Structure 1
C-alpha cells in the first residue's frame, strides 16, 4: 500500500478511506449547502399510496398507464430536485465544490446506503450502474484458460456481453445452467445449480437476484452458502434487488453483489452500488483507473475522473424518503398489489404465472391468453413486439411483452404510484386485442 496522503490533488478533503472508516458513534456528517433542498414527506399522501403519490412524488405522465418500472425505474421528485440543485451548486464555483466538498459528500452518501443494506461502508462503493460494477469485477478477476464461469441461462444481456469479452481476453470458458420453466419452487432451482457446481469445477458463479427477463426471485442465500462450501466465488446481479427486497449484506455475505439505485429504490439515473467481501477488496479495482488507484478500495471508486457526480448526491434524498416512510411499508404495499394484480389477470385471461407468487417481489411474468397466438407453431420476438406496440399506441399502456418457451407473457411491474385500476385496464385491453380481427399475429 502506498504512503497515505490526501488524494486527488486536493489538500482540502480528507482521505476517503478515513471518512468511510470512521465509527458511526463519532462520525459527523458534512453540512448540506443551503441551496440543496431537504426531503419532506407528506404522510397523509403516502398513507395509502397510489395516484396521489404519483402526482406528488413522481414525474410520470398522467396519460400513460406505466407498468414497466422494471425497465429503468422512475426517479422520485425529491431526488431529482436535489440532483439538479447539486448541478447548479457545482457550476457556481466548480473548484470549491470538487476540491473541498464533493468527496466528503460522496463518503456520506456511501455510509447512508451501506446502513440501508446493513453493510460495513468499507465494503460498498458507488458506481454508475450494474454494468459498470460487473465490468470492474471481471477486469479484477485473474481468470485463465483453465477457469470456468457458470451462469444461468437468463442472465442480463449486458452481463452476458461483458462475460463474453472477458472470456475472449482470458481464455476462460463460460457454461450455461438451464433452468426449467415454468418454475415449480426454489428448491428445484437450488438442486439444478448444485448439480452444475458438482459436475463442473468453477471459479465463479453468476446469478440474478431477481431475473430481469423472468421476474422471479432466486434463492440467493442458499446458493451463496452452497458456493462457500464448494470454494466457488459468487457474483450476484441484484439490479432489481435494492428496494424490492430487504437487503442484508452482513447476513448474505456474498463475494460480490451489485444493484441499481435508479430502479426499485427510485434514485436518480446513474446510481448503483457494488458490495465486495473483505477478502476481495484489495484486489477489486475500478474499471476506470484514476488518482485513487493504490490508495484503497473506496478511494479508487470514489473518483473516476471529472464527470457529473450529482446523481450520487441526490441519492441521499431517495434514502431519506424510504427511511421516513419506512421500507417495509413500501415493500408490503408493492407485494400486496402485485398479488392482487396477478390474481386479477390470471382470472380474466384464464392463464398462469411463470413462477409461484411466493417467489415474486415487484414484478411478475403472466401468460397471455391463448387466443392471441392460437394456430401459430412458433412464437417469435416480433410477435411480442406487435402486442407491446399495440398496447403502447392504442391503449397508452407501457408494459413489456416477452416471448418465452414458445408462449407470450406480459411482465408487469408494481410500485407505490400504481393501483389496481392500472391492471384492470391492462386486463380489458388485452381481451379487446384478442377480439380484434385486425391484430397482426
Structure 2
C-alpha cells in the first residue's frame, strides 16, 4: 500500500468503478475500496451462518469497537459518541428530541442541505413547535470574520433562537466554515449548536474537545471509505438525558449507547467496517497525502476550466475552500437557464451523453459545477468534463463588453433610443438595454421552435428561476413573491380578491396613482360596497414625521379602515414616502398596508424582510431594465392563501406560486428575462454606482433648470425626494394655463415640435415638470429642455 500510485493505478487495483465511467462526484456518496467491501461481504455471510449468534452475541462487541474508534478519530469521550446511519439521521435525532416551544426558533442558512432545511421546516410547521429562521449566506465572501460577524449580528437580532444548525462543510457550495468561532458566537448568545459535518470526517481534522459543540454529526462513508450508512453523532454530556434515537426499541431508558445500538433488526455491517476503512485511509498516506494530491488536482482543473470558460470559482477565501471539493461557475449553456431544476437536468445530461458523473448546482443565480477529487482521479477526468461543457456552450450571447461610461456613450452602445430625441421620462415606462432585448427576443423565438416543449417542460422552471432571482433582489422569500405584468395588476389582485367585507374601508391619498384611486373607488361602488377614504396631502411638507402624523390622525378618525394603500414613490409628485415608518404605524394601529412601489425597484434598495409590509407591488421595467410587462406582487405569508390572481385558471386553489404562474397561455418572456436585466444592472456597477451618477446628474440638472427659470422644486424635505426623479415648477408660459389639460397639451407639443419626452402635472394650481435621470442622460439633455421652455415663456 505504501508504494501504490494515486490516479489510474489505485483506481484499477483498489476500487470497483465501472470501466469507461468518469467519477467526479465523490462528495455525494463516497467510494468503497475493494478490501473494505470484501470485509462487508464477509460479515454478511457470517450473519447468515447463524443469525441468532450474530445478533445476540457478536454484533454488540463490533458496534462498540467501531464506536470507540469513531470517538478516538474525533477526540471525544466514548460515552459522548453513538453511531447512526447518516448525518441526516443524526440531525433529525437531535432536532426532534429538542421539543422547541412555539416562541423558540431553529436557525439554518441558505446553504443548509435541503434535507436538513426540510427537517427544520417540518418541525416549525408540523405541530412540533418552534419557528424556522433562515440566514442568507451571500457571495462573494471576503473572510471568515465576515461570516462570524454575520452570525453575531443575526443572533443578536433574533434572541429567540434556541439552536443553530451549522455546516462544517456545506454540500451545495463546498464552503468550509469556521465552526469553532461560530460555536463560540452561539454560546455567547446562549444558543445550542448542531454541527452538520456530513462532509468533514476524512476531509478535515475534527477535535470535539477543542471545538466543543453541543451536537455534531458526520458521515464516514463520504471521505473515509466505509460502506454507505455509517456516521457518528456526538452528544455533549449536558444533553444526554433528553436525546434518544428516532426509533424506540428494546433498550429504551437504558444507557445512550445501548439505545442507539439496538433499534430492531437491521444491517449494522457498515459500522463494523469502520476499522478496515480507516486502516485503508491511513495505509495510503492519510489526510496529509490525500489532501496534497486532491488539492493540487483540483486547483489545476479549476484554473483550466476558469480560463477555458471565461468564468470564475465561487468567490470565497482560499481558507474557506473545501480541501477535496471546488465550485466553478459554468458558462452559459445551450438550452439551460440557471435554476435548481435545470441543474439537475444538466447533471443527468452530462452523465447520459458523456458517462461523466459530477454535481451541477444552482448557486447565487448561476449554474456551478462542484468538482470532487479523490485518490482515483486524474487530470484527464477533468479534461473530459471541460470538453463536454465546452461542447454544450451557448455561443449566441451578445458578448461584447458592457459599456460602463454613463451618458451618451452608454446610450449609443447599450440602448436603442431614437437618435436626436431627448428622453427625460424614464419614470414612466423605463428603457431596455439592447442586449437585454436581444435575449428577450431569443426567448420569443425559442417558443416557436416547439411551443409544447416550451410551455409544458421549460417555462415553469425558467419562471421559478427568474422568480428566485427577482425575490433575492428585493430580499423576499421566493414563496411570498409572484410575477405580475405591472404594479397595477398587483394591487388589483390584492384589492379584488382579498376577502374584505362591506364594513371594511380602504384608504389612499390624493397623490396615489390614478389607477389605484380608480380601483378603490370601483370596489366601493360596484363590487364589495366598501368605503374608500381619500387623505389629502398638501404642499409644502415640512418633515416626513408630519406626513406620518397625518396618516395616524386620518386612521384614528376613520376606525373602519382595514387597509392603507401607500405609495413608495408617487407617480405625479415624485414624493418618496417614509414607508418604513408608515408600515410600522399601520401595524401598531392594527391596519393592513399595501405599498405601491411601481417606481421603486432599481431606484431604491428594497428589503421586504426589513420593511415587512402586508402587500407590496412594484415594476422592474421602470428602473431595473427589464422588458415592459414585468412587475411583481409580494404577499406576506399569513395572507398567501387569501390573495389570488385576477384570472382563474387550471391551478385554482393551489398555492400562490402555481395560481399566479398558470393563468392561461400568455407571453411570460419579460419575467424570465429579469435575470439578464438584473445582471446588466450589476455589470454597469449596481445600484450604488447608478444612483451615484443619477442623483448627481439630477442635482446638477435641477440647479440649472431652477436658476434659469427662476422657479423651485416641489416644496418637500430632502428625505422625501426620490433619487432619480424631481418635480420642478414651470415658469409662466405664453400659450399654456395652469391646469391638467394644458399640462397634457404641453407634453405633446414638446414631443411633436422638439422631440423632447417629459411629463407635466398640475399640482395645487401650478404646472410642474417631472424630470427623470437615467444612466443614458447627460446635462445637455436638460439644457435643451431649458432652452425650449425659455422660448415659450411670457
TM-score of the two chains, using structure 1 as the length reference: 0.88
Query: Is 1:420–2:779 an aligned residue pair?
Result: yes
For the residues of structure 2 that align with 1:369 and 1:155, how far apart are their CA atoms? 26
For the residues of structure 2 that align with 1:177 and 1:160, how far apart are their CA atoms? 11
Q: How does 1:218-257 map to 2 (within 5 A)?
A: 218-257=577-616
Aligned counterpart, 1:75: 432
Contact 1:35–1:85 under 8 Å retained in 2 = no
Query: Is 1:169–2:527 an aligned residue pair?
Result: yes
CA drift of 1:389 comes to 2.7
Q: How does 1:243-282 map to 2 (within 5 A)?
A: 243-282=602-641
Aligned counterpart, 1:30: 342
- The alignment partner of 1:370 has SS state of coil
CA drift of 1:145 comes to 2.0
Aligned counterpart, 2:259: none
Instruction: Note the alpha carbon deviations across 1:78-130, whole angstroms, 9 max, x for none.
Output: 22111110111111111111111110000000000011111111111011111
Contact 1:216–1:361 under 8 Å retained in 2 = no
CA drift of 1:61 comes to 0.8
Q: How does 1:21-60 map to 2 (within 5 A)?
A: 26=172, 28=340, 30=342, 38=397, 42=401, 45-46=403-404, 48-60=405-417
For the residues of structure 1 that align with 2:533 and 2:771, how far apart are their CA atoms? 30
For the residues of structure 2 that align with 1:268 and 1:292, how far apart are their CA atoms? 26
For the residues of structure 2 that align with 1:199 and 1:288, how far apart are their CA atoms? 36
For the residues of structure 2 that align with 1:283 and 1:145, how far apart are their CA atoms? 17
Change beyond 3 A, Cα 1:127–1:34: farther
For the residues of structure 2 that align with 1:231 and 1:88, how far apart are their CA atoms? 49
- Determine which of 454, 457, 482 is the counterpart of 1:125: 482
Change beyond 3 A, Cα 1:422–1:178: same
CA drift of 1:216 comes to 1.5
Contact 1:243–1:331 under 8 Å retained in 2 = no
Aligned counterpart, 2:556: 198
Instruction: Note the alpha carbon deviations across 1:193-232, whole angstroms, 9 max, x for none.
Output: 1111111121000011100010120110000000011110
Aligned counterpart, 1:116: 473
CA drift of 1:322 comes to 1.6
Change beyond 3 A, Cα 1:37–1:347: farther
Query: Is 1:140–2:497 an aligned residue pair?
Result: yes
Aligned counterpart, 1:100: 457
For the residues of structure 2 that align with 1:357 and 1:343, how far apart are their CA atoms? 14
Change beyond 3 A, Cα 1:314–1:36: farther
Gaps of 5+ in 2: 1-117, 122-133, 138-170, 173-338, 344-366, 368-391
For the residues of structure 2 that align with 1:230 and 1:36, how far apart are their CA atoms? 56
**Higher deviation after alignment, 278-287 or 180-189:** 180-189
For the residues of structure 2 that align with 1:163 and 1:97, how far apart are their CA atoms? 38
Let me know the Cα RMSD of the aligned residues: 2.3
**Higher deviation after alignment, 258-267 or 22-31:** 22-31
Aligned counterpart, 1:351: 711
Aligned counterpart, 2:727: 365
For the residues of structure 1 that align with 2:521 and 2:430, how far apart are their CA atoms? 27
Contact 2:507–2:564 under 8 Å retained in 1 = yes
Instruction: Note the alpha carbon deviations across 1:383-434, whole angstroms, 9 max, x for none.
Output: 2233223322222211112122111111111111101111111111111111
**Higher deviation after alignment, 406-415 or 357-366:** 357-366
Contact 1:38–1:317 under 8 Å retained in 2 = no
For the residues of structure 2 that align with 1:144 and 1:319, how far apart are their CA atoms? 40
For the residues of structure 1 that align with 2:438 and 2:588, how far apart are their CA atoms? 47
Change beyond 3 A, Cα 1:367–1:373: farther
Contact 2:398–2:438 under 8 Å retained in 1 = no
- The alignment partner of 2:771 has SS state of strand
Change beyond 3 A, Cα 1:41–1:299: farther
- The alignment partner of 1:133 has SS state of helix
Q: How does 1:143-158 map to 2 (within 5 A)?
A: 143-158=500-515
For the residues of structure 2 that align with 1:224 and 1:126, how far apart are their CA atoms? 23
Gaps of 5+ in 1: 1-17, 436-441
Contact 2:567–2:595 under 8 Å retained in 1 = yes
Greater Rg over alpha carbons, structure:
2
CA drift of 1:35 comes to 6.4
Aligned counterpart, 2:669: 310
**Higher deviation after alignment, 301-310 or 160-169:** 160-169
For the residues of structure 1 that align with 2:688 and 2:787, how far apart are their CA atoms? 32
CA drift of 1:344 comes to 1.4
Aligned counterpart, 2:447: 90
Contact 2:340–2:465 under 8 Å retained in 1 = no
Instruction: Note the alpha carbon deviations across 1:148-167, whole angstroms, 9 max, x for none.
Output: 11111121111222222222
Contact 1:259–1:272 under 8 Å retained in 2 = yes
- The alignment partner of 1:75 has SS state of coil
- The alignment partner of 1:366 has SS state of strand
- The alignment partner of 2:642 has SS state of coil
For the residues of structure 2 that align with 1:64 and 1:49, how far apart are their CA atoms? 17
CA drift of 1:30 comes to 2.4
For the residues of structure 2 that align with 1:106 and 1:217, how far apart are their CA atoms? 31
Contact 2:508–2:517 under 8 Å retained in 1 = no
What is the aligned length?
411
Contact 2:544–2:717 under 8 Å retained in 1 = no
CA drift of 1:176 comes to 0.4
- The alignment partner of 1:218 has SS state of coil
For the residues of structure 1 that align with 2:565 and 2:743, how far apart are their CA atoms? 28
Query: Is 1:327–2:639 an aligned residue pair?
Result: no
Change beyond 3 A, Cα 1:183–1:373: farther
CA drift of 1:361 comes to 1.7
- The alignment partner of 1:215 has SS state of coil
Aligned counterpart, 2:91: none
Aligned counterpart, 2:567: 208
Change beyond 3 A, Cα 1:222–1:37: farther
Contact 2:621–2:627 under 8 Å retained in 1 = yes
CA drift of 1:34 comes to 6.4
Query: Is 1:405–2:764 an aligned residue pair?
Result: yes
For the residues of structure 2 that align with 1:235 and 1:303, how far apart are their CA atoms? 24
**Higher deviation after alignment, 133-142 or 112-121:** 133-142
For the residues of structure 1 that align with 2:613 and 2:636, how far apart are their CA atoms? 7
CA drift of 1:382 comes to 2.3
Change beyond 3 A, Cα 1:39–1:216: farther
Query: Is 1:283–2:645 an aligned residue pair?
Result: no
CA drift of 1:38 comes to 4.5
